[in-house]
Amino acid sequence: MSGNIKLLSDTLAAAKAEGRSALIAYLPAGFPTVDGGIEAAKAVFDGGADVVEIGLPHSDPVLDGPVIQTADDIALRGGVKIADVMRTVREAHQATGKPVLVMTYWNPIDRYGIERFTAELAEAGGAGCILPDLPVQESATWREHADKHGLATVFVVAPSSKDARLAEITAAGSGFVYAASLMGVTGTRESVGEQAQDLVRRTKATTGLPVCVGLGVSNAEQAAEVARFADGVIVGSAFVKLLLAADGDLAAGLAGVRSLAGELAEGVRKHS
């Protein structure tokens, strides 16, 4: 069975055709529970997200700030497994028909087996994988399997990336390019600054892939700011914060993330 890279590409192209950025939401699998995480993914789609990234919880998430680390810890203590991540992808995609990716560090895939992971992700209807810590020069085997199964390989670029390095990364990637808007870890911020705009400009000079910006966006105004120059706006910590604040009241948490997705979806449409 082939994965949904085409659905991802078509979704991003449709947003561009509408003259707007795509809204991409991030949520960790298994948080607040496996079932709760599935419902949260459906809720952000209901609110207006175009794409959802499902995080594979990791004990040492180098890119993630304290909010997502807290959620990952809850998921890991709840016993989340890769099978639960696949189930989350499957059920979120089947319920909505929209593209769902997995965001994961390399070590869990390496342990699980590349062929097994890519085959199962494609079978679940996944659109691809975001791999923040897999060096491009060590990615050939992964990309071979991902291509075979119709999955996107999304690499992360940062403001520190030199132009030659950007070209190397974007040439190897597919689906879209994840532009980390600033140096550091994920989390909501007051402003998503000029560094992000410069990084998008430099990245776009090397590729025809959509360039989507993550790290720091938490409200409609910031989403509109980023949407002026990026093909997609990625929001994670702001959603996770709402689920954490609900403190076990899943209905309240779901209402919160659905509402925020709606506000952000309006934001990405207001930039023009």
Among candidates 77, 147, 142, which has minimal Cα distance to 109? Answer: 142
Q: Which helix (H) or strand (E) holds 12?
A: helix 5-17
Per-residue pLDDT of the chain (272 residues; tens, 9 = 90+): 689 999 999 999 999 999 999 999 999 999 999 999 999 999 999 999 999 999 999 877 666 678 888 898 989 899 999 999 999 999 999 999 999 999 999 999 999 999 999 999 999 999 999 999 999 999 999 999 999 999 999 999 999 899 999 999 999 999 999 998 764 444 444 455 678 899 999 999 999 999 999 877 889 998 999 999 999 999 999 999 999 999 889 999 999 999 999 999 999 998 55
- Quote the tokens at residue 72: 């990952």
pTM value surpassing 0.75 = yes
Active site residue 53: yes
Whole-angstrom distance, CA of residue 270 vs CA of residue 272 = 6
Selected catalytic residue, list 35, 39, 46, 53: 53
Active site residue 64: yes
- Quote the tokens at residue 90: 């499957």
Taking each helix axis from N to C terminus, what angle separates 250-267 and 237-245, rounded to the nearest 10 degrees?
Answer: 150
